[in-house]
């Protein structure tokens, strides 16, 4: 049993924890899945599309922005969002590397 991580997450995991926390909500997953490659979606469009109050949409979008999964771009009075694929790929890569390291250790033992 590896108890060293009970005190603190590894440094590279700390930086991606918010990504996995944001992905833990089905509504936020749906928001991310709305994006076509290279697409910008406005806040008003998200409010119109989602069966939630504007406040709830704002909460979910803010969570995704803070996690680095969406990038906001202000255009006039509206805010448009693009998906940050690099942040998602980095979070997946950190976990993939951890699992790969476990496999190497398992084979070596």
Identify the band that residue 7 occupies on the pLDDT scale cut at 50, 70 and 90.
Answer: confident
Structure tokens at 79: 């805010």
Identify the band that residue 70 occupies on the pLDDT scale cut at 50, 70 and 90.
Answer: very high
Secondary structure of residue 75 in the 3-state scheme: strand
Count CB atoms within 10 A of the CB of residue 69: 25
Say what the pTM is.
0.87
Structure tokens at 72: 């906001």
CATH no., domain 11-108: 1.10.10.10
Q: Which residues pair with 78 in a beta bridge?
A: 75
Please say whether the beta carbons of 81 and 70 come within 8 A. yes
Name the residue ranges covered by the structural domains of the chain.
Answer: 11-108
Quote the CA–CA distance of 82 and 66 in Å, as a whole number.
13
Identify the band that residue 13 occupies on the pLDDT scale cut at 50, 70 and 90.
Answer: confident
């Amino acid at each position: 049993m590896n108890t060293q991580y009970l005190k603190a997450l590894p440094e590279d995991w700390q930086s991606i924890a918010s990504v996995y926390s944001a992905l833990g909500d089905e509504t936020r997953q749906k928001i991310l899945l709305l994006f076509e490659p290279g697409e910008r979606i406005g806040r008003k469009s998200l409010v119109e599309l989602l069966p939630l109050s504007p406040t709830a949409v704002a909460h979910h979008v803010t969570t995704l922005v803070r996690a680095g999964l969406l990038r906001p771009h202000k255009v006039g009075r509206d805010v448009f969002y693009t998906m940050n694929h690099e942040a998602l790929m980095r979070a997946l890569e950190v976990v993939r590397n951890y699992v790969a390291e476990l496999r190497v250790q398992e084979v070596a033992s």
